[in-house]
Amino acid sequence: MMLKLAFTLIAALAVVAGAFAQTPPAPAPTPAPAAFACPKTQTLDCMPIVPEERRAFCGREYLDWAAKHCPGLQVVY
């Protein structure tokens, strides 16, 4: 009888402790950089040797952003 009471008490304390546990807030979504924009054409030429004026568009940060925000964009490597 005492053992059953002890397990019931432990279970009740676990439930109460769980009710007071705080989970950290979810991180805010990262906004798209203001400098990024979809290219005017549907094809982005990133073939080596990439000219200086296109290097920013062929970097991983821009290509990851463009894959999510520029539907139909094709990148040529």
- 19-57: per-residue pLDDT in tens? 566 777 776 655 555 679 999 999 999 999 998 888 889
Q: How far apart are alpha carbons 15 and 26 in whole angstroms?
A: 24
Instruction: Identify the DSSP state of 10.
Output: H
Q: Which residue has the higher pLDDT, 15 or 70?
A: 70
Instruction: Identify the DSSP state of 24.
Output: P
* Run of H or E residues at 62: helix 60-69
For residues 7-16, one letter each, b for 16 or more C-beta atoms within 10 angstroms of the residue's C-beta and e for the rest, the string is eeeeeeeeee
Q: How far apart are alpha carbons 58 and 62 in whole angstroms?
A: 7
